[in-house]
């Protein structure tokens, strides 16, 4: 099977690595060519245009930042899309975003699957993402070898395009809540003159323990935020979730607070760093803002 990956940021690069490891013939394209070129040494073919990247592909993956980016890439690929290929749209673009992708797919008769993923840089690299898939079950079947190479499991969210993107927003609100809750507990421990690592020790092995707390907690306590999942990405997703639920009666108070806190973190200059950087906002927002302020 020939697979094309359009967008080789953190996730697209990792997924390319996993596909190459599984033995697929992979072609990559990225808006900024230098990032795609890095994958040549691993065995990926690097295309200099979207049109040439999708030539001869069986499966085309889009893994770019947001709905605008997906639409731009889709518009470039659509006229050149091979007749029997399947488009796995895996970026997080929300329900409205994937409907925009669907309109391009319908106009050019492209076979589209709504397939966002759970998991960050490491699961992308080692092929243990969770794929949330929605669309025609027969089409999903056709991409099964690719999905298996990328993921530890595939959750079938429904047959309607948009169902998987809705589930993805639900999951990312969970991640936002977990990250903020963890930062709050560590910052409270610090404020109460405790060693914050005692919090992690206290929850270890209990019913409210989670590997996530130890992973992101280590990063918060080390005050190091190498990016697996950028603050700006999660902020985009909270916005998508808020838009998607705006016309419903669900209580969005927590979502609004989370959006506010992650926005603060972004404005402190941490937009490109990992979501664990939210700890800075809880701990010492004034100092951090000062540190990041441009030099006079």
Ligand X SMILES: NC(=O)c1ccc[n+]([C@@H]2O[C@H](COP(=O)([O-])OP(=O)(O)OC[C@H]3O[C@@H](n4cnc5c(N)ncnc54)[C@H](OP(=O)(O)O)[C@@H]3O)[C@@H](O)[C@H]2O)c1
Q: Catalytic positions, please?
A: 168
Q: How far apart are CA 150 and CA 4, in angstroms?
A: 13
165 binds ligand X (CB under 6 A): no
Specify the 3-state DSSP secondary structure of 208.
coil
- Measure CA of the first residue to CA of the last residue in the chain; give whole Å: 56
Judged by CB under 6 A, the residue of 151, 179, 233, 265 near ligand X is 233
Our CB check for ligand X shows the closer of 35 and 108 to be 35
Q: CB under 6 A: which stretch of 205-213, 228-236, 243-251, 278-286 binds ligand X?
A: 228-236
Question: Considering the complex, what minimum distance in angstroms separates the CB of residue 121 from ligand X?
Answer: 6
134 binds ligand X (CB under 6 A): no
Question: Considering the complex, what minimum distance in angstroms separates the CB of residue 70 from ligand X?
Answer: 8
Q: CB under 6 A: which stretch of 18-26, 69-77, 133-141, 286-294 binds ligand X?
A: 69-77
100 binds ligand X (CB under 6 A): no
Judged by CB under 6 A, the residue of 4, 27, 89, 91 near ligand X is 91
- E-assigned strand segments in 200-274: none
69 binds ligand X (CB under 6 A): yes
Q: Residue 276 half-sphere exposure, CB side, CA atoms within 13 Å?
A: 20
Residue with tokens 């902020």: 235
* Residue whose C-alpha is closest to residue 286's, from 271, 267, 260: 267
53 binds ligand X (CB under 6 A): no
Q: CB under 6 A: which stretch of 25-33, 184-192, 210-218, 288-296 binds ligand X?
A: 25-33
Burial readout 120-144 (b: 16 or more C-beta within 10 A, e: otherwise): bbebbbebebbbbbbbeeeebebbe
Q: How far apart are CA 169 and CA 240, in angstroms?
A: 7
* Residue whose C-alpha is closest to residue 79's, from 100, 104, 102, 58: 104
Our CB check for ligand X shows the closer of 27 and 233 to be 233
Our CB check for ligand X shows the closer of 10 and 98 to be 10
Interaction site with ligand X (CB under 6 A): 7-12, 30-32, 35, 63-65, 69, 72-73, 91-92, 117, 120, 228-229, 233
């Amino acid at each position: 099977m020939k697979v094309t990956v359009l967008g080789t940021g953190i996730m697209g690069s990792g997924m390319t690595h996993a596909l190459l490891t599984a033995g697929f013939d992979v072609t990559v394209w990225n808006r900024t060519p230098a990032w795609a070129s890095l994958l040549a040494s691993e065995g990926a073919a690097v295309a200099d245009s979207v049109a040439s990247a999708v030539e001869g592909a069986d499966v085309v993956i889009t893994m770019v930042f947001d709905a605008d980016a997906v639409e731009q890439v889709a518009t470039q690929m659509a006229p050149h899309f091979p007749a029997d290929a399947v488009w796995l749209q895996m970026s997080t673009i929300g329900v409205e975003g994937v409907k925009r992708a669907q309109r391009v797919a319908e106009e050019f008769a492209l076979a589209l699957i709504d397939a966002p993923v759970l998991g960050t840089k490491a699961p992308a690299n080692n092929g243990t993402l969770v794929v949330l898939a929605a669309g025609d079950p027969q089409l999903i079947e056709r991409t099964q070898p690719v999905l298996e190479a990328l993921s530890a499991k595939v959750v079938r969210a429904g047959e309607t395009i948009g169902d998987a993107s809705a589930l993805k927003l639900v999951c990312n609100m969970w991640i936002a809540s977990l990250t903020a809750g963890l930062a709050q507990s560590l910052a409270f421990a610090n404020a109460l003159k405790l060693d914050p690592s005692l919090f992690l020790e206290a929850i270890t092995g209990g019913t409210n323990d989670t590997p996530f707390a130890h992973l992101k907690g280590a990063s918060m306590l080390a005050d190091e935020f190498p990016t697996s999942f950028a603050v700006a990405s999660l902020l985009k997703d909270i916005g998508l979730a808020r838009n998607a639920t705006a016309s419903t009666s669900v209580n969005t108070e927590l979502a609004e607070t989370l959006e506010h806190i992650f926005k603060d973190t972004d404005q402190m200059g941490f937009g490109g760093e990992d979501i664990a950087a939210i700890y800075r906002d809880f701990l010492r927002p004034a100092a951090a803002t000062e540190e990041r302020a441009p030099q006079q």
